[in-house]
Amino acid sequence: MKHLVRHLRSYGDRSAVHTAERTLSYRSLADRVERTAAEFAGGRQLILLEARNDIATLVHYLGALAGGHVVLPVPPGVDHTDLLATYRPDIVIDATGVHRRGTGGHQLHPDLALLLSTSGSTGSPKLVRLSAANLLANAESIAEYLDIRDIDCAATTLPMSYCYGLSVIHSHLLRGAALILTDLSVIDDAFWELFARHRGTSLAGVPYTFDLLDRIGFDTMVLPHLRYLTQAGGRLEPDRVRQFAALGRRRGWQLFVMYGATEATARMAYLPPELAGTRAEAIGRAVPGGHLWIDAPDGEIGELVYQGPNVMMGYAHSAADLASAPGTDVLRTGDLARRAEDGLFEVVGRANRFAKLFGLRIDLQRVESTLRERGIAALCTTDDDILVTATTADAQRVRRAVGEITGLPAGSVRAVTVDELPMLPSGKPDYPAVRALRPEQSAATALRAVFADVLHLDPAHIDSGASFVDLGGNSLSYVTMSVRIERVLHELPPDWHRLPLGELEQLTPRKRGWVSTLETSVALRAIAIVLIVGSHAELFEMWGGAHILLGVAGYNFGRFCLTSAPRGDRVRHLRNTIGWIALPAVAWVAITMTFSDDYGWSNLLLANKFLGPFDSMTAGRLWFIEVLVWTLVLLTVLLWVPAVDRLERRGPFAFALVFLAAGVVLRYDAPGPDPGEDAWFNMLAFWFFAVGWAVAKSSTVWQRAAITALLAVGLFGYFGDPVREGLVFAGITLMIWLPAIRCPVLLTGVFAALADASLYIYLTHFQIYPLFGEHRLLGVLAALVFGVVVAQLVTRLRAAVHQRSPIIPSWTRVAAMTPSARTSDAVITPRPREAAGDRDSSRFH
């Protein structure tokens, strides 16, 4: 590098640098570099340089190299605290001037010349150590395959703190070509005026640069002196490569697609421009002086490995590493690649661009590519168990698209709409910035998005006067909705399901704490299903969960089925509710009958309690489903009668209380039928459902007190087991008097998942836990997880059906809508798990 000044001066009065204000010859540039090198005299020093694309920065950079110092270029406007603390530079050069900080006492390896960040940002003190030989070797290699001539003039479209931007400077100064120094973007008219004025011959860009070129109509520009474009800094989609290659052929310039890494100074491979139209998916061949191969012991695809004189000396993590000797000249890229028959290399993925979410291996690069094929510009990364997407498109559309591409549930995809995709100063994607994105939207906007997502509606067509119930919400969708609303508002407003969206949008979110609000009915569903599965698997013995779920089912029936909607709409809603309980039950019974004799035809009809056989060990397993379905069928028939419908509307609580009182009377066998008859079991269990129904319609303390009293009377001696009766009383009483509870945020999601899947857990757990024999805890956990997975699959299937047949609700028909793709019905909510044939119906045998 000490010969740098002599090299610059050798090109005499040729133009070296153009800016908007002036032009410097190579001679003038050499003079300035020589003076600056003299100013840095006094032993080798570490110089941190805020790099701008201007003459001052270029002179300081070249002067430092000419003086044998070590330069650390950094982007301006970024906090460099970590770098300053870690490396203690002797000199800092920023927009305000040169600041000497005293000697850092550095031990600097004699070959070390340049330190670069691998990410283009200063978030990490990890740096790449490059020698003068590395820089010279790569500059010569690039200048050779690009055929850079002294008549060329390259615009600095990339920052000088980025290895790609620096390589443009190095390679052109090496051949006596000119540079157009500017920080202007290619979307600025002034940039193109400057480029045309100085007869620019080349442009360098990352994939995002090419997006900008498309945006400004680059294909119509008249650029008579342009010889070639170069592209690196990330994969440009093959279609885009072919697009620009074809444009270049028409306009008389070439496209060089290149592949590199900071660890290799800049470039490791390039695709000859004549192949860009036919081999657009390839990165090409190794640059002159370098060698590429595939480490694939088990097949044709393996890690891409490069060897060459431009490979770094190694990494630096602290100031002590600056004295370390060079490492190997072999670089393992971390990219998965193959070598095609024509000798060209193709990168097929990157190990650290794969994510494991919900047991699925997700190729994030492929997700981005597929989104782009659909016309969606996006960047994807992960944040714990969430796939985060930054996009310039509609966030809801992107969430649906990502779900379709990956198979991930919608709740595990966070899409944030941004004006511009987050990019590093180098022009590469800024994935840490993507990961940190949160939807910057008002609570009102967030709530509307939640309603649209959970109920699968078009947000633009949701009337602000409509409530969750009006829009077709029911017991299953309300679990998801309540959790999502709590995340937005940090509390769950009382009777939120009846409040118009417009009123919810007016609420101000509270400050987020470590606890959240959860509806008691949701918590009861989750706890009850765990009690049911655990008791059946004999992990413990705590019976009564299914009867609590009957109460929750009645509660949801009163809230979501008996709305103010017209009678016909009510009946349709009930019909759909019955279907979303009965159909999964019948389907699972049919599946089970193919490999087990647990069930018979009466189970398939959900009528075992009516038709028998009554002596089977598994005869009563589905008693809860039978009670629930036939109760809903009878109530649907009743409410279809206009007179009954009008009566219920006039006095909702009184109407429910009559049914509760009748149920308690039947519970005490007042009419005299034999309670041992299984068909009568349905009528005897109905009163638990009626309790929940009455709770949903109660509005005063006295009404709730009356329900509590009837509950106590009905439960006294009901099971002949005080512990079981106390458990059921405690659970339903909690729902009567405490509609919502506070619990740790981490538990909210667990409760919601279990509650949401309770129907499927109940249906399937009888076949799952026995597979684990005496490993009862594993059997219980497996049954719970299996049910949750089934619920997610069903939700995804229903969502796909809704996407193919989109429903745009009108306010006059919102209450008549089919349950959303996530609903399982007001009553489906209760997915209980106590089998009569096991122990939950033991009181009747």
Model confidence pLDDT, tens digit, residues 316-364: 999 999 999 999 999 998 888 899 999 999 987 766 677 766 556 677 8
The CA radius of gyration of the chain, in Å to the nearest whole number, is 35
Which of 271 and 612 is assigned the larger pLDDT?
Answer: 271
Mean pLDDT of 422-448: 73
User: Is residue 537 included in any domain, yes or no?
Assistant: yes
Residue 212 CA: distances (Å) to CA of 276, 550, 659? 20, 60, 68
Mean pLDDT of 563-571: 82
> Same domain, yes or no, for 256 and 146?
yes
User: Is residue 143 included in any domain, yes or no?
Assistant: yes
CATH number of the domain encompassing residue 298: 3.40.50.12780
> Same domain, yes or no, for 81 and 193?
yes
> Same domain, yes or no, for 503 and 529?
no
The whole-number pLDDT of residue 1 equals 52
Distance CA 121, CA 423 (A): 10
pLDDT above 60: residue 820: no
The angle, 0 to 180 degrees and rounded to 10, between the axes of the packed helices 520-536 and 475-489 is 120
pLDDT above 50: residue 121: no
Domain-ending residue, one of 417, 440, 463 = 440
Which of 560 and 210 is assigned the larger pLDDT?
Answer: 210
Mean pLDDT of 584-592: 93
The whole-number pLDDT of residue 841 equals 32
Question: Strand locations in 546-603, DSSP E?
Answer: none
Domain-ending residue, one of 463, 487, 517 = 517
Distance CA 498, CA 470 (A): 8
Q: Comparing C-alpha atoms, which of 326, 330, 329, 282 is closest to residue 305? A: 330
Contacts of 180 (CB under 8 A, 6+ apart): 18, 19, 153, 154, 155, 156, 194, 195, 198, 200
pLDDT above 50: residue 615: yes
Q: Tell me the residue range of the domain where 407 lies.
A: 358-440
The whole-number pLDDT of residue 441 equals 52
Distance CA 795, CA 789 (A): 10
Threshold 0.85, pTM exceeds: no
Which of 224 and 80 is assigned the larger pLDDT?
Answer: 224
**Domain count for the chain:** 4
> Same domain, yes or no, for 301 and 179?
yes
> Same domain, yes or no, for 250 and 382?
no
User: Is residue 791 included in any domain, yes or no?
Assistant: yes
Distance CA 369, CA 375 (A): 10
User: Is residue 350 included in any domain, yes or no?
Assistant: no
What value does the mean pLDDT of the chain take? 83
In degrees rounded to 5, what are phi and psi of residue 675? Answer: -65, -10
Residue 52: pLDDT band (50, 70, 90) is: very high
> Same domain, yes or no, for 673 and 567?
yes
CATH number of the domain encompassing residue 457: 1.10.1200.10
Distance CA 108, CA 110 (A): 6
Residue 809: pLDDT band (50, 70, 90) is: very low
Question: Are 79 and 122 in contact, with CB atoms under 8 Å apart?
Answer: yes
The whole-number pLDDT of residue 458 equals 67
Residue 572: pLDDT band (50, 70, 90) is: confident
User: Is residue 606 included in any domain, yes or no?
Assistant: yes
Distance CA 517, CA 490 (A): 7
> Same domain, yes or no, for 526 and 578?
yes
Domain-ending residue, one of 401, 423, 440 = 440
Task: Name the DSSP letter for residue 274.
Answer: G
Structure tokens at 663: 């149920």
Residue 511: pLDDT band (50, 70, 90) is: low
Distance CA 256, CA 241 (A): 9
Maximum average pLDDT range among 144-148, 418-422, 613-617, 814-818: 144-148
> Same domain, yes or no, for 617 and 726?
yes
pLDDT tens, residue by residue, 669-722: 644 444 444 444 555 788 899 999 999 899 899 999 999 999 999 898 888 899
- How large a percentage of the chain has pLDDT more than 90? 48
> Same domain, yes or no, for 512 and 527?
no
> Same domain, yes or no, for 171 and 37?
yes
Question: Are 694 and 681 in contact, with CB atoms under 8 Å apart?
Answer: no
The whole-number pLDDT of residue 681 equals 53
> Same domain, yes or no, for 275 and 372?
no
Distance CA 175, CA 179 (A): 11
Helix count and strand count (H, E) for the chain = 29, 27
Mean pLDDT of 752-779: 92
Residue 616: pLDDT band (50, 70, 90) is: low
User: Is residue 403 included in any domain, yes or no?
Assistant: yes
> Same domain, yes or no, for 277 and 368?
no
Identity (one letter) of the amino acid at 556? N
The whole-number pLDDT of residue 42 equals 77
User: Is residue 753 included in any domain, yes or no?
Assistant: no
The whole-number pLDDT of residue 352 equals 66
User: Is residue 13 included in any domain, yes or no?
Assistant: yes
Helix, strand, coil distribution of the chain in percent, nearest 5: 50, 15, 35
Q: Comparing C-alpha atoms, which of 260, 278, 279, 261 is closest to residue 270? A: 260
